[in-house]
Amino acid sequence: MDIILLIGRILIGAVFLLSGIGHLKDRKLTARMAAAAGVPAPQLLSFVSSMLTVFGGLSLTLGFHVEIGVVLLLLFLLPVTFAMHPFWKSADPMEAGNQQGHFMKNIALSGALLVFLYFGSGPFSLG
C-alpha cells in the first residue's frame, strides 16, 4: 500500500507543480484570464495562486511537509474553483458543461488532497 500512496502523491503533486510552472511562464495570460473572470487585483492574485501551486505541488511531489503543501493547494484550489469555473452563471450550455467539468474536477482534487492531509506523505518522503 505504501507504493500506491507514493504514486498517487507524485501524480497529484506533479499536476499542480506543472500547472503552476505553466502559469508562471505566461503570467500575462494567467492575469488576463483572472481579470476576465472578475478576480480583483488579477496580476497579484494570479501570481500568488501560481506560487501556491508550485510550492504545494513541489511539497506533495517530494513528500516534504505534505500537510503544509496540502493546505497551500487547498488555499489555491477552493477559491479558484468558485471564481474561475462558475458554471451556473453561463447561458451557453456547452460553456456551462465545460465549466462544470472543471469545477467537479477541482472538487475531486480537493478530496484527494484531504486524503493526503489525513494519511500524510507516507514512508517514501523527504519529510
Domain residue ranges of the chain, discontinuous segments joined by +: 2-119
Residues 87-109 have a mean pLDDT of 96
Averaged confidence pLDDT in the chain: 94
Which of 31, 96, 21, 27 lies closest to 52 in space, CA to CA? 21
Give strand ranges (E) for the chain: none
CB burial of residue 52 (10 Å; 0-12, 13-18, 19+)? buried
Percent residues over pLDDT 90 in the chain: 87
Q: 48-70 pLDDT, tens per residue?
A: 999 999 999 999 999 999 999 99
Percent residues over pLDDT 70 in the chain: 100
